[in-house]
A and B are shown apart, each in its own frame.
Chain A
Amino acid sequence: MCTMICERAEMEGSAKGRDGWFPLEMANVSYDHPFNAPWEYGLNIDFVNQSQGVGSRVAVELSPQSAKRLAETIMEALKRGEADPQIKVSVL
């Protein structure tokens, strides 16, 4: 709330929280004070399912440099996976 910078994206997938796996509903990405990481501001990602309560949350708090590396790494993995004609994403 100090920066008020928060972007939200709907998610499909699963996350493993304190009580085990739960279906993902949303990713909240903020640039604000982390709760635990040792800097004043960070890139914070909360994978949540609010319909199951605020405790259904998997949190990561990253330095901006780490967040950029993560975003690039995700894009690279996606690029390789989507380029492979043998790989199809489907619900089992």
Chain B
Amino acid sequence: MYTTEQYEGIIAETITINGTGGDAIHTYLARPMGPGPFPAVILAHHLPGWDELYREFTRKLAHHGYLAISPDLYCREAHGAPEDVAAAVRADGGVSDDQVIGDLDAAAKYIRSLPSSNGKVGIFGTCSGGRHVFLAGCRLDCFDAIVECWGGNVIMSDDQLTDKQPVSPNSYTKDLNAPLLGLFGDLDQSPTPEQVNQHEEELKAAGKDIEFHRYPEAGHGFFYFDRPIYHQSSAVDGWSKMLTFLGKKLA
């Protein structure tokens, strides 16, 4: 816990890493100053894109002592205002799951390679990013903790599958490779409370190490203080649970 007599300092900047297929992709890196060793967290951004909110989340995690890294998962699609880029990606059916998984894998390799890394890497995402981190936790074996926040479309019907999203993520449940913290709002429509229950039951049936929390007064995106859907008490408690979880799993 931070106390007022402590020194603190972070460095935050845009860097470039090589993602899926060796493609250079922009990545926001925020890290505590000092030699470490520090645990790391990858942030998989949400539907509205690689935006200011996710940069703030990245800096917040660095402030709490993590090497925090957020790759631009839309970097290949276009550049411009984050909303304009996200609108173009939305019109194009999103980005492919394979490409996102490769980019997140590359981010994990990069951050683990830093001399200030303690070797432990967690991953956090909200909305479509929540879906991506669950999928990454199942398909990759490089994470020590997963924080899935209201992942939409973790459970997909056959008619929702596309060439870019060809498999419903919950099909991979048995392959989950790391402890998972799930945060959800009961007023959310994607995922619905019924889908959250199904997701939890499937994980329990597979014997996975999970911790689910539901907030009765919260809807979708309740961490988003720049939007009307922000829910203060749920967000404060959610951040607290997340930092406690990461502190235990990445020490």
Contacts of A59 in B (CB 8 A): 83, 87
Contacts of B48 in A (CB 8 A): 33, 35
Chain A contact-residue range equals 20 to 34
Contacts of B153 in A (CB 8 A): 2-4
Scoring A3, A6, A40, A41 by chain B CB atoms within 10 A of each residue's CB, the highest score goes to A40
Tally chain B residues at the interface, Cβ within 8 Å: 34
Q: Which B residues are closer than 8 A to A by beta carbons?
A: 47-48, 78-81, 83-91, 93-95, 127-128, 152-153, 160, 162, 165, 188-190, 219-221, 227-229
Q: Of the listed stretches A47-55, A64-72, A83-91, name the one at the interface; the rest are far from the partner chain.
A: A47-55
Q: Which residue of A lies closest to B82 (CB)?
A: A35
- Min distance, Cβ B135 to any Cβ of chain A, angstroms: 13
- Partner pick for B87 among A3, A40, A54, CB 8 A cutoff: A54
Bound complex: CA A4 to CA B156 (Å): 11
A33 near B47: Cβ-Cβ < 8 Å: yes
B228 near A2: Cβ-Cβ < 8 Å: no
Mostly, the B contact residues are: loop
- Partner pick for A8 among B89, B91, B188, CB 8 A cutoff: B91
Whether a CB of chain B sits under 8 angstroms from the CB of A1 is yes
Chain A 10-45 interface 0/1 with B at a Cβ cutoff of 8 Å (1 = within)? 000000000000000010101011010010110010
A4 near B88: Cβ-Cβ < 8 Å: no
A-B contact pairs, 5 of them (CB 8 A): A2-B128, A8-B91, A33-B48, A53-B80, A54-B88
